[in-house]
Each structure stands twice: as C-alpha cells, then as structure tokens.
Structure 1
Amino acid sequence: MAKKRKTKKQSPARGRRSRQRKKKKQMKYPVLAGLLLALLALTFFIYQHRFHVSASYKVNQKAIITADSSPMLYPYLFDLAADSLEQNATVQVEGYFLTKLKGKQVTLAKITLRGRSYYLDAKNLQIQQTNTINQYIASLNYPHAEITQAIYQQFKQQAYFGASAQPKGIIIHDTGNDSSSLQSEVSYMKQNYKSAGVFVHSFIDKDSIFQIADDRYMAQGAGPKGNPYYLQFELIREHSQENFARQLANAAYYTAVMLKKYQLPVTLGQKDASGTVWTHQMVSSYLGGTDHQDPDDYWNGAAAEFFASDYSVQDFLDLIQVYYNQL
C-alpha cells in the first residue's frame, strides 16, 4: 500500500506575501484607468483652449490697441493666462494667424509689446495707414456698401480646379472705360456673354458692390491661368477724390469678405503662384495666358490726380486687412 505524500504547509508569512501581491495587482488596474481618464481629460482641456492654426502670414505694420476695448493678450496660442492692457499702446504687428477656437473662427494678430510677443484678437487693432489714400479712407471711418446679389443664371457654372474646388484668391480688374456706369457695364457683359464668353463675379463703384455670378464657380475674365483658380471683380472708373476712395473701400471690404468666406489669408500674389490678392497685370506678368495691365493705369492716374499720391496693390492689402480683421 502506497504511503500518502504529506502536503507541505505554506508558512503564514509566505501566504501573506501572496495575498499582498494579488491585492497590489487588483489595485493597479483602477489606478491605470484613472491615469488614462485624467490624461484624456487633460488632452480634451488643452484641445478646447488651444487656438488651432490653419494658416499664418507675416506683415510689417504698426497699430494702436486701446485699453477701452479690454483686449486679452495671450503669451501663447492658448486662451489661458492672458495679460491685460492697462493703457493705450502702439504695437508692431508681426503677422496674422487664421485659427479656430471651440469651433469659432478667430483671426489673431501677433504683436510686439514692451519687448514681448503676444497674440490677440485682430479686431482690437487700429492699423496705422501709411498711404495717403488709405489715411483718407480711415478718416471716413472705413465705410463700405453691402454686397448686393443678382446672379445671372446664363453664366457657365464650372468648378474651380484643385481638390477643394474652391478659389485660392481674387483678381482685380478695371473696366478701362472712362464714361461707363456700373449698370451699363453689367448690361454689356450679359448681352455679349454668348459671343465673347467673358464675365466676372462682381462690379464695384463708389456706392455699390454688385455680384452677378455665383462665387462658388469660376469666372472667365483672366485667361486660362487665372480663371480656374480666382474670384474676379471689375472696378468702374470714378472721377473724384471721395468717389475713388469710397470705391477702394468697397473693393477692400468685398475682397476681405470673400477671403474670409473661403478661409484664405491676405497675401500678395507671387511669381510662384502663391498669394491670394492679384491684379490682372500681375496675372499677365507672373502666370501668363493674358496680357492685360489693369488696374494699374487707373489706380496710378486717379491717385495722382485726386491725391497727388500713388496707389499700389500693397497699399490695397493694408486696406483689406482692416476690413478682414473686423469680420
């Protein structure tokens, strides 16, 4: 008969250690779960308070910010730990950032103040204009007409080129006619569209911003290198100081609205086809496919006659930025 093997009794100390290890394992999982939840909460908190940048661009501007507007000065791209402004200050504007915060679009300006860099909502800036005509427009408190739409359905509706099928900028034309009116130009374009195949999105004068083509589709006024990518508008020729200035203000406002609508920055067209703001002359020089030189002659002539000054597309960019910041 086989002998029964004696079972070895576990010592009390060893059993206690085993139970402690099991207990530690059981405690470990809730701790890890808690840490994970805390990390997720922190990530969500950071995401909610971070300005998410979609585009940025550099500028060299001076501006005034007023304490009355209670601007929030952010040292970083977070809406936390903001400094306050105790008195009015003149600042250097280094650039702009197109951002989203909690689903809302916010244009931030990067400024230098007291030797430090800050970000603030660009609506708080009063840009100091250097061009005589822009200064005159500022003295009028940056007026503008509202956009009136009367879409002509006969114009061809063709999507912009590119994956997004959206415009990547805007082209400025002038009619080249010293004696026409906005309505006569609109009528002429409609009547001759079938034979000429030419149209733009809008016409602008001192009183009106009149849109005749759907901006979701390309126009046909700047040749094969410009049409597939850019919004386009025509300037009616004005014949007095105030009328010319008010037209520029309307044009800058319209440009700002369109750029903001398509979440585009305010940047000058370049030879490499980058940039968002173009004259027809720039398309001819940089992109080709057309040889028109407008609106350079019109702007230069009107600026010299009415203001004894000049006016460039860079001056126009400075004006656009004012309206853009307020949208």
Structure 2
Amino acid sequence: MVSNKKFMVSLATAAALAGAGYVTVQNVVPNVGIQNVQAASAINDYISNNNIQPVSIQNEEGTFSQWFGYENGVGKPEGVVVHETATPGATARNEVTYFNREWSNMYSYVHAFVDNNEIINIHNTDYGVWGAGPTANAKYIQIELCEVSTTDEFARSISNDAYYIASKLIQYNLPFTAGKTVLSHNDVSNLYGDTNHTDPVGYFASWGYSMDQFYDLIGTYYTNLKNNGSVTNGGGDNTSPGTDTGVSEDNTINVNNTNGDYVPIVAFQDDGSVQTIKNRALMNKTPWYTDKTKEYDGITYRRVATNEWVSTAYVV
C-alpha cells in the first residue's frame, strides 16, 4: 500500500505542525537536491520568451493489466525515466491507442505520453510499467516524448514533458537530482545494462538540444511549482481559468473545513460505497496533489492517496 506520509498527517501530528507554523505537509521536507545545470539553450529561451505554458495532465486508465509495486513498495517510485518514441509524426493519442492495443505483444508499456498538445497518463504511477528493463522498471515512472516537426512544436512538447516530470517528483516528495531522480533511457542503459537504448539523446541532438538543457528546464519548473504552484516565477500563469473546480493546472487542490478543525477523508469500498477514515485527516487550509475523481451518492470526491479521497465540498 502506498505510504501516506507524503499525503497525510495524523490528527496529532497535524496539530503539532500547525503549532509550529507549517501550512502543508510538503513543506516539512527541505527543498534539497535541486540541480541548477544552467546549460544555455535557444529552445529554453524560446519557451521563456514566448511564455509557453504546459497543458494539463489527462489521467485515463489504459489496458496494461500488470499491477506491481516498485522495489520500495506501491506508491514509492525513485524518479522518472525520459523516453522518446522514435515514431516521427505520431501524436500522444496515436501512441496511447497503439500501446493499449499492442502492449501484450510488444511486452512494453509506459505511464504517459506527451506531445506538443497533450499529456496523457495511462497507468497509475503508484505502480511500475515495462519500459526500460527489469531494474529500471522496479524503480521509475516512465514517460515517452513524441517526435514533432517544428521548433515551436518541439518547444511545447519539451515544456509539457518537463512539467509532467516536475509534478511527479513533487507528487512523490522526491528531490530533483539530474541523473538520479530524472534519467534518460540512455542513462538507464549505462547504469544497469538491461537495455541498449540511447533515447532521447539522438532526438534531442537533432533539435540542437541536450539532456543538460532539459535538466535545466525541469529544475526551473520544479522550483517554481514548489514555491509558487506554477511553472513561472510569478505564479498563477498555468492555473485553469474560467472554472470553479478549485483544481490548479499542476493538479493541486486547497482544502478547508469551515465547520471543523480538520478535513475528513474517505476510502472507497469494493462495493463502490465510501467509509470515513477515522484515524487520519487533512489539515485545514492546506494544498494536496490530486489525480482522479469518483462520484458516490451525488458527491464528487478527489483522490489524495491510493484509496483516500476528499469531498469536493471541502475544496476551496
């Protein structure tokens, strides 16, 4: 079962943290291990100068039926592996359709695909996939970058890729450390020898880009998301306008119970009903990462851990 330490605090701990002035569980963990590669990049400059913003992550369940935890347990990945598809012109949706149909023949599957228009997550990242050999499969979330045709498309796809990676590191309370918590498939091949793939190095090079430059972009997004809830320094530029869901672009909700000292959470039972969790709750006025919704008895719930959900009535 996924460790709830990154999502939850006991009521006693919540009271202690509140007394110490903390406003979110994530702030308990020092913001360490951030890499500042600072590799000069025309692509990264293009993203910044044109205020390119990543799109929202779409979560949908694929057909991959192999449910296995990481070597440290369910919900405990050690980082993210970066792939590229080597299929020029195929969109994220094209690749999702293909992998959902053929994974059992190819013996291959990843968590997500990204192009210049979409980020599609097709397998719960609490569980592993078959993307980079047995050693890496037991350690890492894995995402495939689609090959595009223009500089603008490449910049937007890289922005989306970096955003997904940074948000997953934050979701699992991982630091950003280039080559350790974020690796290319080439890095994985060199480290473990289970595969001989070198992606996305060659594809990046065709655009005059490198992993160091990509690490720089990820580091920027990671820091800004941690500090501001946005990929930009000012914050708020990639929040969802014109909606009242309370969910930001980085899939964060803020919760508060105006009628109590904490926000209650529930667990869904096998029959689809809900049961209140009595020994844990969310602190008032705190942000939480969320990736799924469920409906029960006319109430919409948002997931904040593997089977722990909060009613949207408490989402500010």
Question: For this structure pair, what is the TM-score category when the shorter chain's length is used for normalisation?
Answer: 0.5 to 0.7
**1:217 Cα shift?**
0.4
Change (3 A) 1:166 1:46: closer
Query: How well do the aligned residues superpose, as a CA RMSD in angstroms?
Result: 2.3
Residue 130 in 1 paired to residue 40 in 2?
A: yes
Which residue of the other structure, out of 275, 279, 287, is the alignment partner of 2:184?
279
Residue 48 in 1 paired to residue 20 in 2?
A: yes
Change (3 A) 1:243 1:225: same
- 5+ long unaligned stretches in structure 2: 1-15, 230-316
- Give matches, 1:102-141, under 5 Å: 130-141=40-51
Quote the Cα distance in structure 2 between the aligned partners of 1:195 and 1:132.
Answer: 40
Q: Which amino acid aligns with 1:188?
A: Y
**1:185 Cα shift?**
1.5
Change (3 A) 1:156 1:46: closer
**1:142 Cα shift?**
3.9
Change (3 A) 1:159 1:49: same
Which residue of the other structure, out of 299, 318, 323, is the alignment partner of 2:204?
299
**1:178 Cα shift?**
1.5
Aligned match of 1:57: 33
SS of corresponding position for 1:57: coil
Change (3 A) 1:160 1:240: same
Aligned match of 2:142: 232
* Higher Cα radius of gyration: 1
Quote the Cα distance in structure 2 between the aligned partners of 1:165 and 1:233.
Answer: 17
Quote the Cα distance in structure 2 between the aligned partners of 1:247 and 1:180.
Answer: 13
Change (3 A) 1:49 1:283: same
Q: Is the 8 A contact 1:155 1:213 kept in 2?
A: no
Deviations 1:26-52 (A, max 9, x none): xxxxxxxxxxxxxxxxxx799715874
SS of corresponding position for 2:113: strand
Q: TM-score, normalised by structure 1?
A: 0.58
Q: Is the 8 A contact 1:201 1:211 kept in 2?
A: yes
Quote the Cα distance in structure 1 between the aligned partners of 2:35 and 2:196.
Answer: 30
Change (3 A) 1:208 1:163: closer
Per residue, is there more helix in 1 or in 2?
1
SS of corresponding position for 2:80: strand
Q: Which amino acid aligns with 1:48?
A: A
Change (3 A) 1:153 1:141: same
SS of corresponding position for 2:136: coil
Q: Is the 8 A contact 2:55 2:160 kept in 1?
A: yes
Deviations 1:207-227 (A, max 9, x none): 000111111100111001110
Quote the Cα distance in structure 2 between the aligned partners of 1:156 and 1:281.
Answer: 25
- Give matches, 1:244-259, under 5 Å: 244-259=154-169
Change (3 A) 1:130 1:179: closer
Aligned length: 206
- 5+ long unaligned stretches in structure 1: 1-43, 62-127, 270-274, 304-309
**1:139 Cα shift?**
1.0
Q: Is the 8 A contact 2:35 2:176 kept in 1?
A: no
**1:202 Cα shift?**
0.5
Aligned match of 1:318: 216
Aligned match of 1:289: 194
